Structure 1
Amino acid sequence: MGDMLAWVMFFFILIGLIMIVVYQLMCLSDLEFDYINPYDSASRINQVILPEFITEGLLCFLYLVTGHWIMSLLSVPYLYYNMRLYMQRKHLIDVTEIFNLLDPEKKTRLFKLGYLVVLLFLSLFWLIYSALEDIEE
């Protein structure tokens, strides 16, 4: 039963991460279609960058602690990319450069979204598998 509860927790953490990335994409799209000014868009995105990084680090740590090695290894590239951005101080969006970096930023977040969706489907698979395993016992 504990394994199934861990997978439920992982599932909801991944849903939260997906919501954060979708929010960032919406802010960039609003900026692209001129619904919002660059300062507001950059400040909204910058507010959720660190929570995204911390949540991803927590998820990878929880995978490691609970003994789900494969999922932990699958989460490491995303965590490494976020840590590299943070260490190089390129994680925040600059208001003055936001229009020049709009397309690369959107592509980056779309790639992150795709990666998180794959992790979500794997997590959902393991959630269903552990639930069926608990029913058999």
Structure 2
Amino acid sequence: MSGEAWLYLFAVLINAVNLFLQVFFTIMYSDLEWYVLAQLGTKASELHSAPSSSDYINPIDLCNRLNTYIIPEAAVHGFLTLLFLVNGYWVALVLNLPLLGWNIKKILDNTHLLDATEIFRKLNVHKKESFFKLGFHLIMFFFYLYSMIVALIKDEKA
């Protein structure tokens, strides 16, 4: 197996981890949304499939849980992008640069961590970002998988 195939295999695995992290983020944001609806006194008939009240997460716990994963998720994505740069896989590099730039901008502006006092106002923004990253990682998962298969086929022909 060539270095290219190993790199794309590594990318598939790392991207799968980031994909599952984004699913976790999305679920946690949805759980907070149920918490908000319950706190606002929404009628039980309006909560179509609400979890039991003991399943709610409060904003402080949510922020503490998610803040733990924000920097590692960005760092792993940055490391993977750096590997594409060093090895000269320009298409993969160019596809990863926008999200890397977004993550770097958020970290430099010190807006990357969730704040429990602002989470209710910014919940929709965080959910949209999470869905965007979820879509990005899903597309990249299949791109890396395809690239790995192409690299393996090239190895077999050589």
Determine the structure 2 residue equivalent to 1:132.
Answer: 153
Aligned-partner Cα distance in 2 for 1:45–1:116: 18
User: Deviation at 1:119?
Assistant: 1.3
Q: For structure 2, which runs of at least 5 residues remain unmatched after alignment?
A: 36-55
Aligned-partner Cα distance in 1 for 2:123–2:92: 31
Aligned-partner Cα distance in 2 for 1:18–1:7: 16
User: Deviation at 1:65?
Assistant: 1.4
Greater RCO structure (CA 8 Å; 6+ sep): 2
Aligned-partner Cα distance in 2 for 1:98–1:111: 18
Q: For structure 1, which runs of at least 5 residues remain unmatched after alignment?
A: none
Taking only aligned residues, the RMSD between alpha carbons, in angstroms, comes to 0.9
User: Deviation at 1:26?
Assistant: 1.4
Determine the structure 1 residue equivalent to 2:116.
Answer: 95
Which consecutive segments of 4 or more residues in structure 1 shift more than 2 A?
none
SS at the partner of 1:36? coil
1:36 is aligned with what amino acid? I
TM-score, length basis structure 2: 0.83
Aligned-partner Cα distance in 2 for 1:73–1:79: 10
Equivalent positions of 1:9-24 (< 5 A) are 9-24=10-25
State, as a whole percentage, how many aligned pairs show the same letter: 34
User: Deviation at 1:118?
Assistant: 1.4
User: Deviation at 1:121?
Assistant: 1.3
Contact kept, 8 Å, 1:42 with 1:95, in 2: the verdict is yes
Aligned-partner Cα distance in 1 for 2:89–2:141: 14
TM-score, length basis structure 1: 0.96
